[in-house]
């Protein structure tokens, strides 16, 4: 919703570079404060704990960790 508002010229927003970079690259958005240093935030996968973790869930969490690390580095 905030991204859509910024794209429509309705204001400014803040968010992760992996979301906004494509829009900056094609000129639809501009970076207002390029030297701003922000705190790193953790991303967590939360699921019920028990002895058995379904393979689909384990595979998804592993894939998510790999893809997010690549996207955020």
For 34-72, what is each residue's pLDDT tens digit?
A: 998 888 878 888 887 778 888 998 899 999 999 888 877
Between 10 and 44, name the one with better pLDDT.
10
Query: Is the whole-model pTM more than 0.75?
Result: no
Judgement on whether residues 32 and 56 belong to the same structural domain of the protein? no
Residues 28 and 48 grouped into a single domain: no
Diameter of the chain measured on Cα atoms: 50
Q: At what angle do helices 55-72 and 17-25 cross, to 10 degrees?
A: 50
Domain that residue 1 falls in: 1-37
Token pair recorded at residue 21: 């970079």
29 with 49, same domain: the answer is no
Same domain, residue pair 70 and 53: yes
Residue 8 and residue 31 share a domain: yes
Q: Based on the domain organization, do 46 and 33 belong to the same domain?
A: no
């Amino acid at each position: 919703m905030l991204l859509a508002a910024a794209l429509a010229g309705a204001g400014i927003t803040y968010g992760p570079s992996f979301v906004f970079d494509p829009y900056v690259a094609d000129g639809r958005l501009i970076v207002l404060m390029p030297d701003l240093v922000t705190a790193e935030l953790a991303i967590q996968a939360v699921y019920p704990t028990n002895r058995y973790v379904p393979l689909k869930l384990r595979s998804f969490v592993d894939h998510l960790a790999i893809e997010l690390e690549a996207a955020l580095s």
